[in-house]
Amino acid sequence: MKFLSLIFGNLRRKKLRTALTVLSIIVAFVLFGYLGAIRAAFLAGIDVAGADRLITRNKVSLINLMPMAHLAEIERVEGVDMAAHNTWFGGIYQEPSNFFAQIVVEPEALLELFPEYVVSEEDQRRWLATRTGVLIGRGLAERFEWSVGDKVPIMNPLWSQQGGDPNWVFDVAAIYDGAEQGVDTSQMFIRFDFFDEARSGGQGLVGWYTVRIDDPDRAAEVAVAIDQVFANSPDETKTEPEGAFIQGFANQMGNIGFIITSIVGAVFFTILLVAGNTMAYSVRERINELAVLKAVGFTDGGVLGLVLGESLVITVIGGGIGLALAWLMVSAGDPTGGALPVFFIPLRDLLLGVLLIFVLAFIAGIFPARMAQRLQVADALRR
Amino acid sequence: MFRSITQIFQVTRFSIASLPRRLGSSLSAMLGIAGVVAVMVGVLSIAQGIMSTMKSSAGAANVIVLRSGADTEMTSGLGGDEARLITEAPGIARDGDQVIASRELFVMINLPKRSTGTDANVPVRGVEGQADRVREGFRLVEGRMFQPGLNEVIVGVGARREFQGAALGDTLAVGSEQWPVVGVFETGGGLAESEVWVDAPVLQDAFRRGNSFQSVHATLERPGAFTEFKDALTSDPRMNVKVQTEAEYYEGQSRLLYNLITGLGTLIALIMGLGAVFGALNTMYTAVSSRTREIATLRALGFRSGPVIVSVLSESLLLALLGGIVGAGLAWMAFDGFRGSTLNFSSFSAMTFAFDVNAPLLIQGIVFALLIGFFGGLFPAIKASRTPIAHALREL
């Protein structure tokens, strides 16, 4: 306790310097938290991808459609529990910049395959009873302030209705929440029966299949078995685990993880210089005092602890406030106004942040602390 | 007036001469600012690179015609007859009886990225004979042009660099067909360098597109002919199309990505800059407090507070300038010309580009550093000039 009041006493001596150091540490941790959320947004879905789900798409590319008849053949493959087809709708709501994913699905199969989309009984019934109905994520609903019963007009250059009209109108029938943090709630699901009947061409063709397997450990084996079924057919397939599929998509955007880690590294290096230098300066300034402490009976270790303790107090205050501020900024919403599928600081990053607080405190404080520890009383007092 | 200018020079020389004594803290402030500038210039150079790729995609007198309502080639569709009518519109440049126009298809195939081994959506363009003349700067760097009607492809230099199996002599497997790569081309930067080109009828067959196309690219006789060309097409009742200059089209394609990266980069730079200001303030307050007696002595000798302020400020500006130059230089050495690839959000296909650290960006970085130096030095400077002389001399 006496120790702690000594530390606080020292920090209060040059209030301005302490405040500035704390402020620069706050900045570092705000950036750390915020960039963590941005990385999570770009890699959205990888952590929550179902280990028991595979994605089967056309081998040539995702834009090449496949016959719906593949479904029955996929379900016959050993190890496959169930499968469902999906089709990219790709329409525009008012402006192209209002982009969000619209996917055409079989409603019952979607609800069965994706337990992470939580839909109330009432909403489920309403969606199953409304042919033009869509299921939308909570994030999407909040972004455009849509609620159940609203009509949503969507222009689609890719799929027009019979007669050539590219304008579609859907009814918001149900809203889903994510069962856990990190579930993408920015999507819209359209009913296949309505879509297939209304579209002007391409009946019976679908985009890709989601396949649930019995045993996640056999994923690679089952994927190969599925692709073999369609080998040498006009529509060869490529099957991979859902996580790998999403990771592959993220990889295409560039090495977001690497870029963000580099930036965070540069930030911490910078702050380390500032904080470490300040600590060193304040120790040099107080050499006389530290010598007196030693003269009155403080051990070498005690003085070391005192200086490290100061460093720790500064970084804990700065880091704590910084992480809290980052949390508040992220909770206030994403910078694009809702275009990112998820926006939150993953728990893992928060824990890493706490760990970094201690690492930073140690590295910034250890050199001045060693200097204080090695101080010869007689020499120091003579200065 | 003259006296105060001499004073400024004397005091500034004095304070800068004493810089080496405070090497540690000065260096840390300088490196801090260098870090901020390097990150800012580095991130913004990605956005610049994407922008300049898009800009060099557009020929000055070039136009692109899509189906009305489509915002990218990917979502567009034009019937064969409709596309032919477009190439017959007035205003398109001619060479003899050939119009400089190409009806094109745009699809993607999957090829693994070299860097990660995971699949990427590689854009494949079906083109007609005049396509190379529509693209300014088109040049084959290896091999030869594909033969019309044959299953042969040529690849852009960006695609060859980024994707496995896209070099001269390799063969692309597209469904059940094998397409040998017979040439490699460049277009002086630009989006086309990320693409694979194949004869349009071959692609129509492979992707079961009948005789349909997705876009028409054409070169006009002169840029001024655009209105005439556009009016002729939009007033034609046989078609329903959207006519844009390539400049407009590519600008629209890159806007989303450019704004996202620039916005994010600026936000990060501002927050980091704030941190650097705190660091600089600390350094300068320390500098001033270690020179309290010196400054007080100068003032007792008759130096006014103005020159003292200027001397402290110029010290911090000098540190910031050095930091800015170091940071900008680091970013330039590390990132300029660095090759990357990303997903073109509009067409969901891969685009390759080079990070572009250009002069305006370097200047922007150094100006930002000077701003940090200014705010970091201002308050300590004012403090130095206000310290009561008698009190300061008694200190220490």
Q: Please tell me which residue, A45 or A33, carries the higher pLDDT value.
A: A33
- Looking at the structure, do residues A224 and A262 belong to the same domain, yes or no? no
Q: Are B168 and B183 in contact (CB under 8 A)?
A: yes
Q: Which of A99, A266, A274 sits opposite B282 (nearest CB)?
A: A274
Phi, psi of A160 (to 5 degrees): -105, 165
- Of B188, B215, B239, the position where a domain reaches its end is B239
Burial of A352 (0-12, 13-18, 19+ CB in 10 A): middle
Min Cα distance A313 → chain B (Å) is: 18
Distances, alpha carbon A71 to alpha carbons A199, A216, A237, B215, in Å: 20, 20, 12, 34
- Of A201, A235, A269, the position where a domain reaches its end is A235
Does residue A51 sit within a domain? Answer: no
Tokens representing residue B174 in the block: 């597209």
Reading phi first (left if > 0) and then psi (alpha if -120 to 50, else beta), residue B96 is in: left
CA dist., res. A268 & res. A33, Å (int): 12
Does residue B244 sit within a domain? Answer: no
Q: Which residues contact A234 (CB under 8 A, 6 or more apart)?
A: B175, B176
Give the per-residue pLDDT at B283.
Answer: 83
- Looking at the structure, do residues A259 and A360 belong to the same domain, yes or no? yes
State yes or no: pLDDT of B145 exceeds 60: yes
Q: What is the pLDDT of residues A61-113, one digit of tens each?
A: 888 899 999 999 999 999 999 999 999 998 999 987 788 999 999 999 999 99
CA dist., res. B57 & res. B77, Å (int): 21
Q: Is B270 on the interface with A (CB under 8 A)?
A: no
- Looking at the structure, do residues B123 and B200 belong to the same domain, yes or no? yes
CA dist., res. B206 & res. A183, Å (int): 38
Q: Are B166 and B111 in contact (CB under 8 A)?
A: yes
Tokens representing residue B368 in the block: 């930002």
- In chain A, the residue whose alpha carbon lies closest to the alpha carbon of B323 is A270
Q: Is B175 on the interface with A (CB under 8 A)?
A: yes
Give chain B's mean pLDDT: 88
Give the per-residue pLDDT at A338.
Answer: 66
Q: What is the pLDDT of residues B198-208, one digit of tens each?
A: 999 999 998 88
CB–CB of A24 and B109 under 8 A?
no
CB–CB of A63 and B70 under 8 A?
no
Q: Are strands B177-186 and B153-156 parallel, antiparallel or unpaired?
A: parallel
Find which of B41, B274, B282 to mutate to test the A interface (most A CBs within 10 Å of its CB).
B282
State yes or no: pLDDT of A331 exceeds 70: yes
- Looking at the structure, do residues A129 and A200 belong to the same domain, yes or no? yes
- Cross-strand pairs, B124: B107, B196
Min Cα distance A135 → chain B (Å) is: 24
CB–CB of B176 and A336 under 8 A?
no
Does residue A245 sit within a domain? Answer: no
Q: Crossing angle of helices A256-285/A287-295, nearest 10°?
A: 70
- Looking at the structure, do residues A264 and A210 belong to the same domain, yes or no? no
Q: Which residues contact A364 (CB under 8 A, 6 or more apart)?
A: A272, A275, A276, A279, A311, A315
State yes or no: pLDDT of A337 exceeds 80: no
CA dist., res. B9 & res. A20, Å (int): 30
Does residue A50 sit within a domain? Answer: no
State yes or no: pLDDT of B396 exceeds 60: no
State the DSSP string of B265-309: HHHHHHHHHHHHHHHHHHHHHHHHHHTHHHHHHHHHTT--HHHHH
Number of H helices, E strands in chain B: 12, 14
Beta-carbon count within 10 A of B164 CB:
13
CA dist., res. B178 & res. B152, Å (int): 9
Does residue B154 sit within a domain? Answer: yes
- Looking at the structure, do residues B75 and B149 belong to the same domain, yes or no? yes
Single out the residue of B239, B287, B359, B307 nearest to residue B21, CA to CA: B287
- Looking at the structure, do residues A205 and A65 belong to the same domain, yes or no? yes
Does residue A106 sit within a domain? Answer: yes
CB–CB of A276 and B28 under 8 A?
yes
- Looking at the structure, do residues B195 and B124 belong to the same domain, yes or no? yes
State yes or no: pLDDT of B303 exceeds 90: no
State the DSSP string of A275-299: HHHHHHHHHHHTHHHHHHHHHTT--
- In chain B, the residue whose alpha carbon lies closest to the alpha carbon of A259 is B43
- Looking at the structure, do residues B187 and B314 belong to the same domain, yes or no? no
- Looking at the structure, do residues B197 and B279 belong to the same domain, yes or no? no
Does residue A246 sit within a domain? Answer: no
Does residue B245 sit within a domain? Answer: no
CA dist., res. A173 & res. A189, Å (int): 10
- Looking at the structure, do residues A65 and A152 belong to the same domain, yes or no? yes
Q: Is B205 on the interface with A (CB under 8 A)?
A: no
Q: Are A56 and A195 in contact (CB under 8 A)?
A: no
Show residues of chain A in contact with B261, CB under 8 Å. Answer: none
- Looking at the structure, do residues A158 and A83 belong to the same domain, yes or no? yes
Q: Crossing angle of helices A2-13/A300-331, nearest 10°?
A: 70
State mean pLDDT over B312-322: 91
Q: Is B212 on the interface with A (CB under 8 A)?
A: no
Q: Which residues constitute the domain of residue A220?
A: 60-235
Give the per-residue pLDDT at A135.
Answer: 97
CB–CB of B109 and A61 under 8 A?
yes
Q: Which residues constitute the domain of residue B329?
A: 2-55+253-394
Does residue A321 sit within a domain? Answer: yes
Residue A243 corresponds to which amino acid?
G
State yes or no: pLDDT of A16 exceeds 80: yes
First to last CA, chain B: 34
Show residues of chain B in contact with A336, CB under 8 Å. Answer: 260
User: What beta strand segments (E) does chain A contain?
Assistant: 53-58, 66-67, 80-88, 102-105, 117-118, 133-137, 151-155, 167-178, 188-191, 205-206, 208-213, 237-241
Give the per-residue pLDDT at A377.
Answer: 80
Task: Calculate ∠ Cα A106-A111-A115, nearest 5°.
Answer: 145
CA dist., res. B234 & res. B240, Å (int): 7
CA dist., res. A377 & res. A368, Å (int): 16
- Looking at the structure, do residues A85 and A226 belong to the same domain, yes or no? yes
Highest-pLDDT range among A247-251, B24-28, B60-64, B365-369: B365-369
Give the per-residue pLDDT at B333.
Answer: 92
Q: Are B218 and B65 in contact (CB under 8 A)?
A: yes
- Looking at the structure, do residues B139 and B48 belong to the same domain, yes or no? no
Does residue B287 sit within a domain? Answer: yes
- Looking at the structure, do residues A37 and A107 belong to the same domain, yes or no? no
Q: Which of B207, B274, B285 sits opposite A27 (nearest CB)?
A: B274
Q: Which of B67, B271, B350 sits opposite A157 (nearest CB)?
A: B67
Give chain A's mean pLDDT: 89
Find which of B266, B272, B319 to mutate to test the A interface (most A CBs within 10 Å of its CB).
B272
Min Cα distance A375 → chain B (Å) is: 20
Give the per-residue pLDDT at A176.
Answer: 96
Q: How many domains does chain B have?
A: 2
- Looking at the structure, do residues A228 and A366 belong to the same domain, yes or no? no
- Percent of chain B at pLDDT > 90 equals 41
CA dist., res. B382 & res. B384, Å (int): 5
Show residues of chain A in contact with B267, CB under 8 Å. Answer: 335
Q: How many domains does chain A have?
A: 2
State yes or no: pLDDT of A276 exceeds 60: yes
Does residue B194 sit within a domain? Answer: yes
Highest-pLDDT range among A258-272, A291-305, B6-20: A291-305
Does residue A240 sit within a domain? Answer: no
Min Cα distance B94 → chain A (Å) is: 32
Q: Is B210 on the interface with A (CB under 8 A)?
A: no
CA dist., res. A74 & res. A61, Å (int): 19
Give the per-residue pLDDT at B321.
Answer: 95
Query: Between A and B, how many residue pairs show a Cβ–Cβ distance under 8 A?
Result: 151
Please state which of the ranges A18-32, A251-265, B216-230 shows the lowest mean pLDDT: A251-265
- Looking at the structure, do residues B149 and B235 belong to the same domain, yes or no? yes
- In chain A, the residue whose alpha carbon lies closest to the alpha carbon of B38 is A266
Give the per-residue pLDDT at A286.
Answer: 82
CA dist., res. B29 & res. A42, Å (int): 33
- Of B189, B214, B239, the position where a domain reaches its end is B239
CB–CB of A96 and B346 under 8 A?
yes
Q: Is B67 on the interface with A (CB under 8 A)?
A: yes
Q: What is the pLDDT of residues A228-257, one digit of tens each?
A: 999 888 888 999 999 888 888 788 877 777
Q: Which of A17, A38, A267 sits opposite B282 (nearest CB)?
A: A17
Please state the pTM of the whole predicted model: 0.82
Does residue B292 sit within a domain? Answer: yes
Buried b / exposed e over A114-149, threshold 16 CB at 10 Å, is bebbbbeeebbebbeebebbbbbbebbbebeebebe
- Cross-strand pairs, B343: B350
Show residues of chain A in contact with B266, CB under 8 Å. Answer: none
Give the per-residue pLDDT at A270.
Answer: 79
- In chain A, the residue whose alpha carbon lies closest to the alpha carbon of B339 is A254
Give the per-residue pLDDT at B344.
Answer: 80
Min Cα distance B290 → chain A (Å) is: 10
- Looking at the structure, do residues B113 and B224 belong to the same domain, yes or no? yes
- Looking at the structure, do residues B197 and B85 belong to the same domain, yes or no? yes
Give the per-residue pLDDT at B383.
Answer: 86
CB–CB of B176 and A158 under 8 A?
no
Q: Is B114 on the interface with A (CB under 8 A)?
A: no
Tell me, what DSSP letter sits at residue B208?
T
Q: Which of B25, B276, B345 sits opposite A277 (nearest CB)?
A: B25
Burial of B278 (0-12, 13-18, 19+ CB in 10 A): buried
Does residue A169 sit within a domain? Answer: yes
- In chain A, the residue whose alpha carbon lies closest to the alpha carbon of B380 is A16
Does residue B274 sit within a domain? Answer: yes
- Looking at the structure, do residues B216 and B259 belong to the same domain, yes or no? no
State yes or no: pLDDT of A1 exceeds 60: no
CA dist., res. B160 & res. B154, Å (int): 10
Tokens representing residue B30 in the block: 């300088």
- Looking at the structure, do residues A8 and A93 belong to the same domain, yes or no? no
Q: Is B275 on the interface with A (CB under 8 A)?
A: yes
Q: Are A318 and A21 in contact (CB under 8 A)?
A: yes
Local confidence band at B395 (pLDDT 50, 70, 90 cut-offs): low
- Looking at the structure, do residues B165 and B272 belong to the same domain, yes or no? no
- Looking at the structure, do residues A72 and A32 belong to the same domain, yes or no? no
State mean pLDDT over A6-13: 84
Give the per-residue pLDDT at A69.
Answer: 92
Q: Which of A21, A157, A277 sits opposite B70 (nearest CB)?
A: A157
- Looking at the structure, do residues B124 and B206 belong to the same domain, yes or no? yes
Q: What is the pLDDT of residues A344-373, one digit of tens each?
A: 898 999 999 999 999 989 988 888 888 888
Does residue B61 sit within a domain? Answer: no
